[in-house]
Structure 1
Amino acid sequence: MLKTLGAQIKEYKWASIATPVFMLLEVAVDTIIPLLMASIIDNGVNMGDTRHIYIMGVWMIVAALFGLLTGCLGAKYGAKAAMGFGKNLRAAMFRNIQTFSFANIDRFSSASLVTRMTTDVTNIQNAYMMLLRMAMRAPASIICAMAMSFFISPRLATIYLIAVIVLGALLLFISKAAMKYFDRAFKRYDDLNESVQENVSAIRVVKAYVREDYEKKRFSKAAQNIYDVFVKAESLVVYNSPLMQFTVYACILLISWLGAHMVVSSTLTTGDLMALLTYCMNILMNLMMLSMVFVMISLSLASARRISEVLNEQSTLHNPKEPLYDVPDGSISFKHVSFRYSDTAETPVLSDINLDIKSGETIGIIGGTGSSKSSLVNLISRLYDTDTGSVIVGGHDVREYDMDTLRNKVAVVLQQNVLFSGTILENLRWGDKNATTDECIEACKMACADDFIESFPDKYNTYIEQGGTNVSGGQKQRLCIARALLKKPRILILDDSTSAVDTATDSKIRAALAKTIPGTTKLIIAQRISSVMDADRIIVMNDGKVDGFDTHENLLKNNEIYRDVYDSQTNGGGDFDEGGAA
């Protein structure tokens, strides 16, 4: 874990080294000042030597200014190192997340990833700053002050030593006890972020169903859970302060009482007693700072583990050693393919799939909810790997291709259409960043999106809000289809991507695709039989298996599921799931 996190210090290594150096210089100054003060009292005030007072006073001012300078520089470089460390952690996590396969992403919720990149990283960078400054300054200051105290009076310094040992053990015990609650807290932060994320993204649904009160209660419950855990943790940590106060005042009383007797008996000077009291406060205050460091480290250890999980997560998908960088055509074959999303799943979602699709064919895919239609097409662009069998595209196993090359040639318009903040043109160029405006317009015409775009005041420069909230569902689907077409793919997969458009527009899109990209293999997943009945062939999925694969006419004759759905939709207007298919 430390090695994983430490690798992200990178260019802030020198700032990380400079910070503790300046802290040590500040400690040296803090150690010298009480000696100068003792000299003023013993050799200046008591001896009536005004010149000595002035000389030592000047040196105290010089030391104080030097201490101020080193403290400021330590703070500056500490902030630079800690904030830079946090920046690198977030960048490294984000880069690694971009390499994740769908299987990796399934392990982490989006809310959890957000928490790890925000709250957890903030905890780590704050802890790192304290480690560079306080964790270096406090122990060094305690050691130096302890050494000087023993130099002045071993008898009185023993009081400090006993206090430090007892108090250190108690603070360590408290910090360790609080650690288990901090572990729980960050898991509950995930729940809180998930509640916020779902509420904001689905605010229209919340308002449509008048579920504001329910969402408020859900959020309050998540916030209360975090409150309860932190109250338990802080209920332990709060003992730090009274323990410190008790120790400080007990030490001051003991040193004052014993020291006064020693001054009277002339075994200790007044100046030395003042220096010892200063060192006493120095030691105990730094011990309190050290206890704060322990608390922060305890808090950050949970965050460090969560961040390391993301940084150490390896993609389940990898490029071969000598990948292919060209997809010859859009032919597709499934050879005895079985697939499950989890190794622990008892039954596969796809079982012994065997299919052969020619390049340029239009294939319809139809089946009830949960029949694994989307799972089937996800294997083509290698979003997942098969458990057994192989998926062959362009005559080669998909595992032989460079993944970027394969996915650039297999365009997928998923069920959940996503548009990003930016203009329509910027969104379209996700398909091809170098696409000209004319190419974008042509793709939109093929997707029947040009008409509604031209009706906007800013046309193709119309700004799309986050998530595409200022366009309708059908408009969003057509923009996503146009974006996919700009990739000029060998294979185009439309995963229920026209469900929000009317049947006439759906028909126009299919006709345009057949005419303008005849060489592209088109896989159309749909619930409406009217969307696939003109396809060259149709796959009927049922419970993770291929129940039928033939033309519309032959399936009507030979496939009971397809015939029932067709009769249901043509006679009663029902969808696939109402047609009796499992």
Structure 2
Amino acid sequence: MLGKLLVRYLSTYRWLLLGVLVFQFTAAMAALYLPRLNADIIDQGVARGDTAYIWSTGIFMLAISLGQITASIIATYFAARTAMAAGRDIRRDVFEKVSAFSEREVSQFGPGSLITRNTNDVQQVQMLAMMGATMLVTAPLLAIGGVVMALQQDVGLSWLIGVSVPTLLVIAGLVISRMVPLFRRFQTKLDAVNRILREQLTGVRVVRAFVREDIEEERFRGANTDILIVGRKVGSLFVLLFPLAMLVLNVTVVGVIWFGGIQVDAGTVEIGTLFAFMQYVGQILMGVLMASFMTIMIPRAAVSAERIGEVLASESTLTRPAEPVRVFPRPGAVEFEGVGFTYPGAESPVLQGLTFAAEPGETLAIVGSTGSGKTTLVSLIPRLFDATAGTVRVGGVDVREADLDLLWKGIGLVPQRPFLFTGTVASNLRFGREDATDEELWAALEIAQGRDFVEAMEGGLGARIAQGGTNVSGGQRQRLAIARAIVHQPDLLIFDDSFSALDLATDARLRQALWRELPDVTKVVVAQRISTVTGADRIVVLDGGRVVGNGTHRELLETSATYREIVESQLGVEA
């Protein structure tokens, strides 16, 4: 998976990678050539007392060193550009994939895990791409080139390389083999930390209301400790590798000095050659060490690439039709025909056998006890979920055959828990339609009964809104969400228990304004309060995922025992 991911995203930048290869090759060749020149200075210049040769060769070495530095800088620049661009492309594709997910896929992965995959996991792959573009070119050149150059200097000492390199490879292999499962556990623990932190930040009011700070701190401490333990094990192995590698390097250098000194004393090897051989041994082992460092990064990046690949390979159940219908003959009409829905892995369906309809401009109310399937029902209209049985039609077209963008364009949804984005009142309202004028925003606020409190806010339409709308009350948040849906100018408005935070007077004024100002817009209203739905053209009563009543308020009082029970219970409470 890691290889496929890197090939897929790095192939776009092959010219930059070619530049990395060329300049890294140049830098490596310069590094391999310098010890040979150093040996020549010692053996020829110093031994003969040839000052001119020492100066000319030294200046040449300095020029090569400067060229090596320049080539390394350019190669690193190209590698950084390539890796950062690839990381950007991966994050973009993951975001677009997640954006196309239905609620089913989002729930399957979990929001916290999806965030981790698009941030930390992408970063791991990105860092591997950057380091790999440099080290994976330099390391083999230094190791292989160093062996060739060392053999040219002295074949008799080459057995030291034959012992040290395999020893270093065995040590690296043993350490890295233990890291792979630890990296997988580390990413899973990181998901847990992100999930808990996200829950605590989102539900901070609930935590404080129930005085759960200490308990939640303990829960986070537990998750944080878990990731500490795994990270400590990884760190211990990581730290262990370098001392062992340096031990092999130092022992090898001592061996070169020891056995090389014997040969120098015997007159079979010159001192400059011995020094060059030592430098080549260092370069060989450094190349192996760099490769080992890369192999440490590869397992973690491989785990991250696997997690990213799971997201990219996931097919959303929200599939777009091959030949979408772009014409809606009856804008605003809603029809359910034998509709059923079952959540994945559930033993029984949430909805079954739903059949009803709402004509354009009508108000359709949906009532029922908690857990009867009201929110699931309205989620089927804009295709947040797809019905597992039957057909849902909007505008006279099966929603599974309709062009999704046109379908969503014709629907204004106010969810049960309205969400506001960081920005201003105006930017949140224009989320429904970017070209809306200020006059249209104020008109929508007027209908939603939100004009008064927006005018009282500092800045009016330019007033700041915190993430999630946490700096406004629940009722204000609902009214802003309703105004946003109105600005969208849809043919169908869906209110999923969107008046629950409003007092009865505001609720009544808002409904009257909606009915008066938007008579041609179909309205689907999910509500718990009977007073909210009594004026609806049609009321659908749900119980256990089935329709047990369908008609007007007066008709249902006479024909539906479930509806009558709900009315009587609320009238008793209100009295």
Shorter-chain TM-score above 0.5: yes
1:43, CA displacement in angstroms?
Answer: 0.6
Amino acid at match of 2:504: T
* Corresponding position of 1:331: 333
Q: In structure 2, the residue corresponding to 1:7 is in which secondary structure? A: helix
- Partner Cα separation in structure 1 for residue 290 and residue 219 of structure 2: 38
TM alignment of 1:98-497, pairs within 5 A: 98-327=99-328, 328-342=330-344, 344-497=345-498
Q: What is the DSSP-based 3-state SS (H/G/I as helix, E as strand, rest coil) of the residue aligned with 1:336? A: strand
Deviations 1:435-460 (A, max 9, x none): 11111111111111112222223222
Change (3 A) 1:145 1:69: same
CA distance in 2, matches of 1:459, 1:261: 89
**Distance between the aligned counterparts of 2:522 and 2:440, measured in 1?**
21
Superposition deviation, residue 178 in structure 1: 0.7
The amino acid across from 1:71 in the alignment is: S
* Cα distance in 2 for residues equivalent to 1:178 and 1:431: 49
SS at match of 1:535: coil
How far apart are the structure 2 equivalents of 1:4 and 1:177? 24
Give the TM-score normalised by structure 2.
0.96
The letter of the residue matching 2:412 is A
State whether residues 146 and 161 of structure 1, in contact with CA within 8 Å, keep that contact through their aligned partners in structure 2. no
CA–CA distance in structure 2, aligned partners of residues 276 and 382 of structure 1: 71
Deviates more, 1:486-495 or 1:211-220: 211-220
The alpha-carbon deviation at position 10 of structure 1 amounts to: 6.1
* TM-score computed with the length of structure 1 as normaliser: 0.95
- Measured in 1, the distance between the counterparts of 2:214 and 2:139 equals 50
RMSD of aligned Cα (Å): 1.7
User: Which residue is 1:546 aligned to?
Assistant: 547
Q: In 2, are the aligned partners of 1:4 and 1:312 still within 8 Å (CA)?
A: no
- What is the alpha-carbon distance in structure 2 between the residues aligned to residue 7 and residue 442 of structure 1? 50
2:490 is paired with a residue of what secondary structure?
coil
| Residues 312-363 of structure 1 deviation map (CA, whole Å, 9 limit, x = unaligned) | 2232222222222233322222111111221x32211111211122222211
Q: Secondary structure at the match of 1:238?
A: helix
Question: 1:158 deviation in Å?
Answer: 2.3
- Could you say which residue in structure 2 is the equivalent of 1:533? 534
1:527 maps to amino acid = Q
1:278-312 Cα deviation digits (max 9, x unpaired): 11111112222211111111121111111222222
Structure 1 residues 25-74: Cα deviation after superposition (integer angstroms, max 9, x where no partner): 11101111110111011111122222221122111111111111111112
* SS of residue paired to 1:57: helix
| Residue 377 of structure 1, CA deviation | 1.0
Instruction: Using the TM superposition, give the Cα deviation of residue 78 of structure 1 relative to its aligned residue in structure 2, in angstroms.
Output: 1.7
Structure 1 residue 229, shift from structure 2 partner: 1.0
Contact map agreement 1:350 1:376 (CA 8 A) in 2: yes
Contact 1:5/1:308, CA 8 A, preserved across alignment? no
Q: Give the 3-state SS of the residue equivalent to 1:221 in structure 2.
A: helix
Mapped partners of 1:553, 1:397: distance in 2 = 32
Partner of 2:44: 43
SS of the equivalent of 1:391 reads strand
Q: Following the alignment from structure 2 to structure 1, what is the Cα–Cα distance between the partners of residues 459 and 245?
A: 66
* Residue matched to 1:81: 82
Equivalent AA in structure 2 for residue 33 of structure 1: L
Local SS of the residue matching 1:412: strand
Q: Distance in 1 between matches of 2:405 and 2:12?
A: 30
Q: CA deviation at 1:225?
A: 0.9
5+ long unaligned stretches in structure 2: none
Deviation of 1:166 after TM superposition, in Å, equals 2.6
With over 3 angstroms needed to count, the CA separation of the structure-2 counterparts of 1:129 and 1:457, relative to structure 1, is: closer
Task: Identify which range, 465-474 or 209-218, moves more after superposition.
Answer: 209-218
Contact 1:111 1:194 in 2 (8 A): yes
- 1:62-81 alignment, distance < 5 Å: 62-81=63-82
Shift of residue 405 of structure 1?
A: 0.5
Deviation readout 1:438-492 (Å, 9 max, x if unpaired): 1111111111111222222322221212111121111111111111112222211
> Residue 338 of structure 2 aligns to which amino acid in structure 1?
H
**Matches of 1:335 and 1:537, distance apart in 2:** 16
Distance 1:329 1:84 in 2: 44
Alignment coverage as a number of residue pairs: 573
What letter corresponds to residue 61 of structure 1 in structure 2?
L
Distance across 2 between alignment mates of 1:264 and 1:333: 99
Q: 1:5 offset after TM fit, Å?
A: 4.1
What percentage of aligned pairs have identical amino acids?
Answer: 38
**What secondary structure sits across from 1:133 in the alignment?**
helix
The answer to whether the 8 A contact 1:9-1:88 is kept is no
Alpha-carbon offset, residue 573 of structure 1: 4.0
* Contact 1:448 1:505 (8 Å CA) reproduced: yes
- 1:361–1:522 CA contact under 8 A, matched in 2: yes
Q: In the alignment, is the contact (CA less than 8 A) between 2:324 and 2:402 conserved in 1?
A: yes
Q: Distance in 1 between matches of 2:407 and 2:6?
A: 33
> Take 1:427 and 1:8, find their aligned partners in 2: how far apart are those partners?
35
Deviations 1:236-277 (A, max 9, x none): 333312321221122112221211121122221111111111
Q: Is the 8 A contact 2:358 2:538 kept in 1?
A: no
Tell me which residue corresponds to 1:578: none
Give unpaired runs (5+ residues) of structure 1. 575-582
Q: 8 Å contact 2:5–2:305 — kept in the other structure? A: no
Displacement, 1:209?
2.8
What's the counterpart of residue 91 of structure 1? 92
Determine helix, strand or coil for the equivalent of 2:9.
coil
- Counterpart residue identity of residue 490, structure 2: P
Question: Equivalents in 2 of 1:109, 1:461: separation in Å?
Answer: 34
Alignment partners' CA distance in 2, 1:228 and 1:24: 41
- 1:579 is matched with none
Deviation sequence 1:379-438 (CA, Å, 0-9, x none):
111121111211112222111210010111121110010111122111111111111111
Distance 2:501 2:315 in 1: 37
